[in-house]
Structure 1
Amino acid sequence: MGYKKLTVQGVAEYLGVHPDTVYTMVKEKQIPHFRVRRRILFSVETIDAWIKEQEVKIIKEAI
C-alpha cells in the first residue's frame, strides 16, 4: 500500500496558498515534509494530520 505524496505545487493547491508560501514554511520548518535528494515532498496523510493540529491549536487559543 503506497502513500499519496504531493509536491510543493500540489500541497500549495491543496492548502490554497502560493507555492512561495509553502517554500517559506518548509524553510522555517513550519510544515511537515521530507526530501528525496533535492525534491521536497509531502505525505497527504501527514498534511491532513498537521491541518487538524493547527485547528486544535487555534481552538485552544480562542478559549
Structure 2
Amino acid sequence: MQRKTLTTEEVADYIGVHKDTIYTMVRQKQIPHIRVRRRIFFSIETIDAWMRDQEQKSLEVAQ
C-alpha cells in the first residue's frame, strides 16, 4: 500500500521550498496539515488540491 502522507521535509521537497518555509506556513495556517501531538503531516492529495487552488487564485488575480 502506498503511503499517502508526507513529513515536513518531504512536503518541502515536493513543492520546492525550504522546510523552514513549511514550518512558517503551518504556524500561520497557510497550508493544510495534520498534527499528531508534536508531529506534522501532510496528505499528498490535500497538498495537490491546495496547489491547484493556489494556482487558480494566482490566475484570477492576474486577469
The answer to whether the superposition gives a TM-score over 0.5 is: yes
Gap runs ≥5 in structure 2: none
Aligned-pair Cα RMSD in Å: 1.3
> Could you tell me the TM-score, scaled by structure 1's length?
0.94
State the alpha-carbon separation in 2 of the partners of residues 49 and 20 from structure 1: 22
Higher relative contact order (CA 8 A, sep 6+): 1
Correspondence 1:56 to 2:56 = yes
Percent of pairs identical after alignment? 62
State the alpha-carbon separation in 1 of the partners of residues 42 and 52 from structure 2: 16
The alignment of Structure 1 onto Structure 2 pairs a total of residues equal to 63
> Could you tell me the TM-score, scaled by structure 2's length?
0.94
